Amino acid sequence: MASTTVAADLQSAPSSGKTFLGHPRGLATLFMSEMWERFSYYGMRALLVLYMTASVAEGGLGMKVAIASAVYSVYTAMVYLLALPGGWIADRFLGARKTVAVGGTIIMIGHFLLAVPASVSFFVGLAFIAIGSGLLKANISTMVGHLYDGPNDPRRDGGFTVFYMGINLGAFAAPLVIGTVGQSVNWHLGFALAGVGMALGLGQFLLGTRHLSAKSDVVTSPISAEEKSAIFRKAGMWLAAAVVFYGVVVATGSFTIDWAVWPLSIAGIAIPVFVFAKVKKDQDLNSDEQSKMSGYIWFFIAAAVFWMIYDQSGSTLNVFADKNTASDLFGINFPSSWFQSLNPLYIMALAPVFAWLWVWLSKRGKNPSTTMKFAIGLLMIGASFLVMMMAMAAASGGVKVTPLWLAMVYLIQTVGELTLSPVGLSVTTKLAPTKYASQMMGVWFLAVTAGDCVAAIFQLVLGDAAVGSTWYFAVQGVMALIAGVALTMYRKKVVALMGDVH
């Protein structure tokens, strides 16, 4: 299409003598914007389940742990699910730059809605943040790539490393600041502070937008008037049906949070199944591409199991930190939300080590295969919940256990993440059929959606008496270990399906 040709001919970034750490100046804009967005997201996330489970007398919503955990799981699932339409909107309607600006604005509004002390505004705010995050998350990383002269630009990998450091800096600082204010001063003031963080990120983005690449303004595949009309008509029909259905439920006094959580949980599992069924039935894919997609399904399921456990850091592990863990270490007293800073701290410390380790092993011909790295990730995440099982047993009878238990759990999980997550991004691009090359990264994010939705269903079915119990952690830990062992045993079959990809 003409727009694609224009995009290819556009200059990668505005010419300027100034750089940011040797990179295009626009990287500073995206670095700061994403850092503040992650600051707002992870700060709010650190408070979310704690606020929902706090008693009304303590200023919270007084929800049961199982329901609050399920709401949290579905919320995080929707953030990743909505990255798919977020990328589509940028490609077909607005372009990446405008989509990110709109997404940031919606996120900011959502955080300030959470700051209003009313349960209705709280859940509307969560919906706003999920929608805005889907719009922003899908496109801001793409804009980093636009700053460079194609995929072979020698600065490109370093630019993404700097960008991801901004993500982890924001995620590390957020619980320390927003968590402290929310837990020690006022929940809603903490949520408002998250809104201020997003406002700073949005302001940084709008002020620095002139330093971004012209490619970020291009609508790569503009939608035709006929397509737009058909989409709006179908969307309107589905929206009207949902409004009528839920209007009846509310009017009859039957509405509970289950009416929202259950449908979203089921949809979060059904959509990935539908996507893979559609791809597997596509006659345009040759036998090699079909084989690779069969192999990819193994990685997708493994990733879903991993994220099912990993993403409970903000729910069941956060509750354990608040209810069952001592709030002081070496004479330092701190709020329980501070534990949420451990993962980004570990990532910043260990990511360079793992990057060096894979190269070192590769030079000696001992670098584990993609399949084995996934298996290691599953074994590590399973082991982390077995440690949680022991921590929960140690906390029986109302004993407050040492913070070192959670420090160990998060360390094990981070090691697992570093063996699985970056490798998953890489293998997704390698196994993607040519026809679906641009869509497969969104499919990878669906693994997070599926895993979180499975966790939500577990939490809803098991109820408050079981969620967070010793056997709750044990069962999921064993499940992940079994998945890791199964992937190890069948690794030759998976490798055969992958063809020329290793």
Q: Is residue 112 part of a domain?
A: yes
Q: Three-state SS across 230-274?
A: HHHHHHHHHHHHHHHHHHHHHHCCCCCCHHHHHHHHHHHHHHHHH
Task: Let me know: does 484 contact 379? Beta carbons within 8 Å.
Answer: yes
Distance CA 105, CA 102 (A): 5
pLDDT tens-digit readout, 165-205: 899 999 999 999 999 999 999 999 999 999 999 999 999 99
Q: Which two tokens stand for residue 124?
A: 């509307």
Maximum distance among all Cα pairs of the chain, rounded to whole angstroms:
69
Same domain, 309 and 401: yes
Q: Given pLDDT bands bounded at 50, 70 and 90, which one contains residue 5?
A: very low
Highest mean pLDDT among 247-251, 252-256, 474-478: 474-478
Same domain, 144 and 35: yes
Last residue of a domain, one of 169, 196, 223: 223
Distance CA 62, CA 66 (A): 12
Same domain, 408 and 495: yes
User: 23-24 and 328-329 as β-strands: parallel, antiparallel, unpaired?
Assistant: unpaired
| Full-model pTM | 0.91
Same domain, 316 and 462: yes
Q: What is the CATH number of the domain that holds 493?
A: 1.20.1250.20
Highest mean pLDDT among 1-15, 19-33, 232-246, 401-415: 401-415
Q: Is residue 350 part of a domain?
A: yes
Please determine, for residue 73, whether its predicted confidence score (pLDDT) is greater than 60.
yes
Q: Is residue 244 part of a domain?
A: no
Residue bearing the bigger pLDDT, 307 or 359: 307
Q: What percent of the chain has pLDDT over 70?
A: 96
Distance CA 433, CA 429 (A): 9
Collect all residues with Cβ–Cβ distance below 8 Å to 407 and sequence separation of at least 6: 339, 342
Please determine, for residue 210, whether its predicted confidence score (pLDDT) is greater than 70.
yes
Residue bearing the bigger pLDDT, 306 or 492: 306
| Tokens 């977020």 -> residue | 86
Task: Let me know: does 93 contact 119? Beta carbons within 8 Å.
Answer: no
Same domain, 219 and 273: no
Q: Is residue 380 part of a domain?
A: yes
pLDDT tens-digit readout, 311-352: 999 999 999 999 999 988 888 889 999 999 999 999 999 999
pLDDT at 151: 66
Please determine, for residue 4, whether its predicted confidence score (pLDDT) is greater than 50.
no
pLDDT at 450: 97
Range of the domain at 400: 269-502
For residue 472, with 0-12 CB atoms within 10 Å meaning exposed, 13-18 middle and 19 or more buried, which class applies? Answer: buried
Distance CA 115, CA 425 (A): 35
Task: Let me know: does 446 contact 396? Beta carbons within 8 Å.
Answer: no
Number of domains into which the chain is organized: 2
Please determine, for residue 3, whether its predicted confidence score (pLDDT) is greater than 60.
no
Same domain, 286 and 190: no
**Mean pLDDT of the region 220-246:** 91
Last residue of a domain, one of 186, 204, 223: 223
